[in-house]
Amino acid sequence: MDKRIRFSRRAVTKHIGVAAGITLLGPGMARAALVTPAQVEGPFHPIDEQADTDLDLTLIDGHSRTATGEVILVRGQVVDTDGRPMQGALVDVWQANHVGRYSHPADQNTAPLDPDFQGWGLIKTDADGRYGFKTIKPGAYPLPMVGGQGWRCKHIHFKVIRAGGEDLTTQMYFRGDPLIEQDLEVKKVPEDLRHLLIADAVADDATGLPFYQFDLVVAKA
Known active-site residue 173: no
The catalytic position among 131, 155, 173, 212 is 155
Contact present, 79 and 35 (Cβ < 8 Å): no
The catalytic position among 15, 98, 101, 157 is 157
Residue 132 CA to residue 114 CA, distance in Å, equals 22
Known active-site residue 157: yes
Known active-site residue 15: no
The catalytic position among 152, 162, 173, 212 is 152
Known active-site residue 152: yes
Contact present, 27 and 76 (Cβ < 8 Å): no
The catalytic position among 141, 162, 173, 212 is 141
Virtual CA dihedral for 73, 198, 38, 136, nearest 10 degrees? -30
Q: Are strands 210-213 and 71-80 parallel, antiparallel or unpaired?
A: parallel
Known active-site residue 102: yes
The catalytic position among 102, 131, 173, 212 is 102
Which of 68, 195, 79 has the alpha carbon at shortest distance from 127? Answer: 79
Residue 61's contacts (CB-CB under 8 Å, 6 or more residues apart) are 1, 9, 51, 52
Kindly state the DSSP code that residue 14 receives in the 8-state scheme.
Answer: H
Kindly state the DSSP code that residue 93 receives in the 8-state scheme.
Answer: E
* Burial label, 42 (beta-carbon count in 10 A; 0-12, 13-18, 19+): middle
Phi and psi at residue 159, in whole multiples of 5°?
A: -135, 120
Residues belonging to the active site: 102, 141, 152, 155, 157
